[in-house]
C-alpha cells in the first residue's frame, strides 16, 4: 500500500483522539469565544467541527490539490459563517488553526517513527509542507469569509444608523421637519434621499423643512444630492424650505451652478417655524 495512503488512514483513525487532545488543551477565558463555552451542545458542536477538519485534512495526502481544495473550502466557508465562530475574535481562531498544525506535526513524527524503514527523510518534509499548505489555506479562506461577513454587517448597521439619523419628524398641518446632523458623505446622502421620499409619501407631507445647521461638511456630490432631493420632493408635490445653510455650503452650491431661486431659504429653523405659525 502507498505510504501516503497509510499515513492518511493513520490520521483518520486518530481523528477522535486529535479532537479530544486539542479540546483538552484549550485555555480560552474570553467569554465571547466559542472555545470558552461550557454549554454541552456548543461543546459537542465545536468538537464535531474539529473532527470534520481532521477527516478532510488527511485527504490532502491522497487527492490532487485542486480537487481537495474545492471540497475543503466548502468546509471552511461553513465554519466562517457559523454564528459561534462569527462572535469569536479572529486571532483566537487563527491561534487554534496553528495549534492544530502543531498536532499534525507531532502525529506525522509518530508515524515516521513507526515506519522509519519505509520513509525517506525528504518524505517527512513533504508531508509537513502539505499540512502547512492546508492550514494556511484554511486561515486565509476563513479570514476572507469573516471579513466579507463583517463588511456586510457593518454596511447594514451603517445604513440603519443613517436611516435613524435622518428622521422625518411630523409637524402640524401635513408639515414635517428633516434635521440633518454630522458629516454627510455620498452614501449617506443617497440613503437620506430614498428615506425622506418614502417617509414623506407615507406621512402625506405637503411641506418639508430641511435644516442643515447641524451639518459640518458637505462635498460637491452631496450638495448636488440635497438639491436633487428638493427637486424630487417638488415632483411629488412636497414643498421644501431650507434653513441653516452655512456660507461654505452656499459657496459649494454656487460653484456647482445650483440655484436657490426656486427654493425657499431662511437663515434659521426658528425663522422657518415662525413664518409657518404666521401663515397658519
pLDDT given at position 99:
95
Q: Are residues 199 and 214 in the same domain?
A: yes
Q: Are residues 137 and 270 in the same domain?
A: no
Q: Is 204 left (phi over 0), alpha (psi -120 to 50) or beta?
A: left
Q: Are residues 97 and 204 in the same domain?
A: no
Q: Are residues 150 and 175 in the same domain?
A: no
Q: Are residues 221 and 197 in the same domain?
A: yes
pLDDT given at position 40:
93
Q: Are residues 156 and 205 in the same domain?
A: no
Angle between helices 15-24 and 40-57 (to 10 degrees): 130
Boundary residue ending a domain (162, 183, 205): 162
Strand order across the beta sheet in which 175-181 lies: 169-170, 175-181, 207-214, 239-243, 264-266
pLDDT given at position 60:
95
Range of the domain at 38: 3-162
The CATH number for 54's domain is 1.10.490.10
Boundary residue ending a domain (110, 131, 162): 162
pLDDT given at position 271:
75
Q: Are residues 154 and 178 in the same domain?
A: no
Which single residue is written with the C-alpha cell 488512514?
Answer: 9
Distance CA 11, CA 230 (A): 68
Q: Are residues 17 and 139 in the same domain?
A: yes
pLDDT given at position 254:
76
Q: Are residues 110 and 174 in the same domain?
A: no
pLDDT given at position 103:
96
- Average pLDDT, consecutive stretches of 10 residues, N- to C-terminus, the chain (280 residues): 90 96 91 90 94 94 92 88 87 93 95 90 91 92 84 76 73 89 80 87 91 78 81 90 81 72 78 61
Angle between helices 3-13 and 15-24 (to 10 degrees): 50
Boundary residue ending a domain (162, 196, 226): 162
Domain count across the chain: 2
What is residue 178's three-state secondary structure? strand
Q: Are residues 146 and 175 in the same domain?
A: no
Phi (first) and psi of residue 220, to 5 degrees: -65, -40
**What are the residues facing 209 on neighbouring strands?**
177, 241
Strands (E), 191-243: 207-214, 239-243
The CATH number for 237's domain is 3.30.750.24
CB 54 within 8 A of CB 19: yes
Q: Are residues 146 and 213 in the same domain?
A: no
Which single residue is written with the C-alpha cell 404666521?
Answer: 278
CB 199 within 8 A of CB 160: no
Q: Are residues 103 and 176 in the same domain?
A: no
Amino acid at each position: 500500500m502507498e505510504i501516503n495512503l497509510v499515513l492518511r488512514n493513520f490520521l483518520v483513525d486518530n481523528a477522535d483522539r486529535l479532537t479530544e487532545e486539542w479540546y483538552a488543551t484549550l485555555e480560552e477565558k474570553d467569554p465571547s469565544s466559542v472555545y470558552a463555552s461550557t454549554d454541552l451542545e456548543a461543546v459537542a458542536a465545536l468538537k464535531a467541527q474539529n473532527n470534520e477538519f481532521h477527516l478532510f485534512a488527511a485527504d490532502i495526502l491522497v487527492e490532487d490539490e485542486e480537487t481537495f481544495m474545492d471540497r475543503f473550502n466548502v468546509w471552511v466557508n461553513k465554519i466562517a459563517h457559523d454564528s459561534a465562530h462569527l462572535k469569536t475574535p479572529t486571532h483566537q481562531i487563527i491561534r487554534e488553526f496553528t495549534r492544530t498544525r502543531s498536532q499534525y506535526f507531532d502525529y506525522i513524527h509518530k508515524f515516521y517513527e513507526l515506519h522509519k524503514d519505509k520513509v525517506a527523510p525528504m518524505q517527512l518534509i513533504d508531508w509537513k509542507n502539505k499540512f502547512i499548505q492546508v492550514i494556511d489555506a484554511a486561515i486565509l479562506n476563513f479570514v476572507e469569509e469573516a471579513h466579507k461577513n463583517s463588511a456586510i454587517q457593518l454596511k447594514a448597521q451603517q445604513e440603519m444608523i443613517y436611516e435613524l439619523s435622518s428622521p422625518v419628524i411630523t409637524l402640524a398641518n401635513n408639515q414635517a421637519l428633516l434635521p440633518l446632523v454630522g458629516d454627510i458623505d455620498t452614501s449617506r446622502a443617497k440613503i437620506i434621499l430614498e428615506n425622506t421620499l418614502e417617509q414623506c409619501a407615507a406621512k402625506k407631507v405637503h411641506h418639508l423643512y430641511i435644516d442643515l445647521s447641524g451639518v459640518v461638511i458637505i462635498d460637491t456630490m452631496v450638495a448636488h444630492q440635497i438639491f436633487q432631493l428638493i427637486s424630487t420632493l417638488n415632483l411629488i408635490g412636497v414643498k421644501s424650505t431650507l434653513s441653516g445653510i452655512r456660507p461654505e455650503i452656499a459657496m459649494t452650491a454656487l460653484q456647482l451652478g445650483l440655484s436657490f431661486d426656486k427654493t425657499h431659504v431662511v437663515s434659521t429653523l426658528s425663522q422657518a417655524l415662525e413664518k409657518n405659525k404666521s401663515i397658519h
